[in-house]
Structure 1
């Protein structure tokens, strides 16, 4: 009996080893944008077998549950403010990629609800094609790529397949099941980071005032965009919004009490929507005494009928989740 248990245990270990070996084989042993140069730090579990990690996305839950579970009163009050506008939220795994994962999944959900989703896919791919032209003009360290253009094309192909699947009727449940699988989303997340970097480096003059002091665009991207365990700040959010032409609303629930119990809202608009340049945003603050405004759901595009972004994320310190308006539930 003991001998059989030892064999079973060894078999389980061999199975896990085989899974991890096959998982690494999916990367083809190549250096890519997913792998930093030799000697650079890598988040220890980025390349773990999918079965050994927490789910990348959770199911929708009542936003009010955050009020019940959190211990800090000021945080509870800020969530109560959001509850005036939103009914549900969806957790994302806090592994450094939560913004990109939340942005992608929220976009795909909204794409699936569009009346003319194929037209939106065409528009999106056109934006990606323009980014590819800028990407090809930039110099890339071979420590990150063996063949930059080949890598870009291969990941864009996967991205295009995913968005077309949604436009052609991929159900919400199927989308969720695909999204919690690791490999394809991880490569696509690397594409989102790459698109943001290409945007910042190609339009450095537009973003110069937003870069940290004594840091150029390339240095910033190497430190803040390429590592898969670095959470996105507002600058990469702006860059990705413009690169893909996708408006975004960010509800910020931070630790600050400088303005009292308030929630900071940022509406990020690409030039094609706002007509005011790539860095246009609308900033506002909401408190418990603010009268909630009706938030109507649009159709056929990424803006609601009141011209506000449909994609909405809740950003807490070093983490992003997806928010769902009350009218959607």
Structure 2
């Protein structure tokens, strides 16, 4: 049986309060560069331990476990859009480094299907076309060999430009909403468990607006609609009844994937190349070793 030692263990609310205090303190140290920075430099994972050096011992032990598998962290702004910003940068960074044109072709087809889904649901095209166009522009820019190609440094700077970043976030929010509405019967039990509202109202109030935090439903829908596997690693205060520490993760594997050039029996084919760290209320980017 799990026994909670309140003298040493913090609640998730405690963790969130500490995290908010840390973010507020760090925000004051970050200079303004044109627009508000929404994506920070990559840091060694040891910097995460420094945040909790006088805090919960369980979290410190779990960070030690994390360092066995992950080398670095890249922080995102805690404004409610952190999941989508983290996904945006990690996906584009992956394409930039891999130059996987097959993946770009595949995702472009999926994006066109997302456009058709929104139109079939009654969305007016002018409400989302600019967001789609900017995402496709960013996607094309990370492929080498064309006039618009950018470097990794330019990708970081562009992702920090809030006018660009916010548009891409809105693209993700629209296609996530479209996927949830399209498969409303599947998502309805989860949505009602979270908010006790209809799928339509959930999408209007918790998916499409900027600044609304993302949960399991959002991640599942985005992964499914784009066909991109995502790993979320959870940093929390849980431990087993023997007092040992492990870091839990969940892999969001798309239910519908283009298997034309993929061996479905190959575990590597569905291994997520996007790894995010979740702490209560916030997502950052993790870099595996």
| Class of the TM-score when normalised by the shorter of the 2 chains | 0.7 to 0.9
1:78 to 62, 67, 82: 62
Aligned to 1:28: none
Tell me the SS of whatever aligns to 2:96.
helix
Within 2, Cα distance between the matches of 1:189 and 1:181?
A: 12
Q: Does 1:156 align with 2:119?
A: no
Q: Does 1:206 align with 2:169?
A: no
2:117 to 130, 134, 142: 134
Shift of 1:271: 2.4
Task: Give matches, 1:62-211, under 5 Å.
Answer: 62-70=44-52, 71-115=55-99, 117-140=100-123, 148-168=124-144, 169-211=149-191
Within 2, Cα distance between the matches of 1:192 and 1:265?
A: 23
Shift of 1:234: 0.9
2:39 to 57, 69, 79: 57
Aligned to 1:320: 283
Within 2, Cα distance between the matches of 1:86 and 1:182?
A: 28
Unaligned runs of 5+ in 1: 1-49, 141-147, 276-302
Which string of whole-angstrom CA distances, capped at 9 and with x for unpartnered residues, describes residues 46-100 of structure 1? Answer: xxxx868641111111102211331221111111111110010100000011000
2:272 to 302, 309, 318: 309
1:233 to 209, 212, 215: 215
Change (3 A) 1:241 1:306: closer
Shift of 1:178: 0.7
Tell me the SS of whatever aligns to 1:229.
coil
* Counterpart contact for 1:304–1:310, Cα < 8 Å: no
Higher alpha-carbon Rg:
1
RMSD across aligned C-alpha pairs, in angstroms?
Answer: 2.2
Shift of 1:240: 0.4
- Taking structure 1 as the reference length, what is the TM-score of the superposition? 0.68
Within 2, Cα distance between the matches of 1:136 and 1:85?
A: 43
Alignment length (residue pairs): 242
Which 10-residue stretch deviates more, 148-157 or 103-112?
148-157
Which string of whole-angstrom CA distances, capped at 9 and with x for unpartnered residues, describes residues 105-127 of structure 1? Answer: 00011111224x22222211111
Which 10-residue stretch deviates more, 253-262 or 165-174?
253-262
Within 2, Cα distance between the matches of 1:216 and 1:172?
A: 42
Unaligned runs of 5+ in 2: 1-31, 260-265
Change (3 A) 1:175 1:203: same
Shift of 1:227: 2.6
Which string of whole-angstrom CA distances, capped at 9 and with x for unpartnered residues, describes residues 145-193 of structure 1? Answer: xxx3023222211111110000124211110011111101101101101
Tell me the SS of whatever aligns to 2:214.
coil
